[in-house]
Amino acid sequence: MSAEQVSGLSPSGRAPLVSRAAALLAGDWRYVPIATAIVLIWAFFALQNPAYLTPRNLSNLCLQSVVTGLLALGLVPVLLVGQIDMSVAAMSAVAATITGQLLLVERVSVWLAIAAGVLFGGCVGFLQARWITWTGTPAFLVTFGVSLALAALQLHLLPVTGQINLYGTDIVVLAGAYLPAGLSWALVIFAVLAFAAFRLSAFVESRDAGLEASVRSVVLPTFLVMVGLAVVVGALNMHNGVPIALLLFVVPIIVLVYIGSHTKFGLYLYATGGNPSAVARAGIDVDRIRIAAFVICGMFAAFGGIVGASRLLGVSAQSSGMGTLLLEAITAAVVGGTSLFGGRGSPWSALFGALAITSISNGIDLLGLGTEVKLATQGLVLVLATSVDSVANKFANDAR
């Protein structure tokens, strides 16, 4: 049976320009809009105040984006499976409190204290996901309820002063330390080589399987990664160096990106967000995938809170739990291109999204515009980002 015979099963002609552009934006060019947005934001604030684009402020900006970014990173798998976790901010606060109290009161080692906090996040994530999948209650409501309970738990755990002072404890290793310049360059070389090797093996596998493959798919991305890393590390080394906290954010992103595109579990995260009943009929335990997503989310939320405590050298009900952290984290993930409708997105969206919104709030602070401008802008960005997501989702559904 030849292909012509079944022309009924094929479209003919070229796709219209709009849908070709949409395909590009969904594929290789996925980060072009958000990267452009970041450049525009930077240009705008740099014109207002030259202090904005200094290595010192950029380094500060990176550190500021890490906490939001870690929460957003945890949200990515949950959003991918088409759910939401409204408890991430409260979770980060409680985990930071647990870690802080273990350090101060129990005097356990810093790693044990961190592990306990992260473990707590994972457990709460598991419990709420088990409840959601078992009862079928919308995740929005369950996790929102849990976040109130977590806020209460934090108040209970905090001493009567309402805050924990972590000054002088070992927790400072997370957010207060920087890589020596030599080590950072060695890491860059290692990262570029690893990336090139990975690309090369994909190229060889494609070629051996008889697929179209070109060496350009190895050389060009490797070159871009090399230039990008060199610029970032060079700029950061002009101030204190590469913050350890940035590594604690970027390395998990790379791990999650790998899981997302090279493991069954990662594939099932996307598939579950796309069509859960199809996934179930393919013999995959959908509930387990969803639960795993919430566990990852809880752990990253907890870790984000602990890194935040390390940065501020303290925990209070205000520092991490309340305020706008939750909405910032959701906005970051969505601004970065992870859809609220499930099945679309990437861990990189946490990095780009967190950088974008932190760049805005950092700039507003620098210009001394005050909280009202900041709140209004954050709200506007949230509405804008989710609207773009919704329109894109509608477009994807109409495209057929």
Partner 1 sequence: MDGRELRRDAAAPVDADNAPLMQLRGISKHFGGVTALDRIELKLFPSEIVAIVGDNGAGKSTLIKAISGNQPPDSGTFLFNGKLVEIRTPQDASRVGIETVYQDLALCDNLDTVQNLFLGNEKITSLRSGRRLNHALMESTAREALRDIGVATIRSLRSPVGRLSGGQRQGIAICRCILRDPRVVLLDEPTAALGVEQRQGVVRLIKRLKSESRSVIVISHDLHDVVLEVADRIVVLRLGRKVAEFQRTGINASDLVAAITGVQHFARGDVRSDTSANRMARE
- Residues binding partner 1 (CB under 8 A): 1-3, 5-11, 15, 19, 23, 26-27, 201-202, 205-206, 208-211, 261-264, 267, 270-271, 273-275, 277-279, 281-284, 342-344, 396-397, 399-400
Q: How far is the CB of 239 from partner 1 (least distance, A)?
A: 37
Closer Cβ to partner 1, 44 or 395, answer by number: 395
Nearer to partner 1, 136 or 210 (CB): 210
Between 286 and 330, CB nearer to partner 1: 286
Burial level of 78, CB count in 10 A (0-12/13-18/19+)? buried
Q: Which of 242, 251, 228 is nearest to 59 (CA)?
A: 242
Closest C-alpha among 34, 23, 13, 68 to residue 327? 68
State the nearest-atom distance from the C-beta of 23 to partner 1, in Å: 6
Cβ-based nearer residue to partner 1, 11 or 50: 11
Tell which residue, 27, 45, 96, has the closest CA to residue 67: 96
Residue among 8 and 50 whose Cβ is closer to partner 1: 8
Distance of closest approach, residue 257 Cβ to partner 1, in angstroms: 13
CB of 219 to partner 1, least distance (A): 19
Which token pair is 263?
């493991």
Quote the tokens at residue 35. Answer: 């990267």
Q: How many angstroms separate the CA atoms of 150 and 128, rounded? A: 12
CB of 6 to partner 1, least distance (A): 4
The alpha-helical segments, DSSP class H, found in 282-340 are 286-312, 325-335
CB 133, min distance to partner 1, A: 18
The SS3 call for residue 212 is coil
Q: CA-to-CA distance for 335 and 356, rounded, in angstroms?
A: 8
Residue among 241 and 266 whose Cβ is closer to partner 1: 266
361 token code pair: 């709030």
Give the separation between CA 97 and CA 178, rounded to whole angstroms: 24
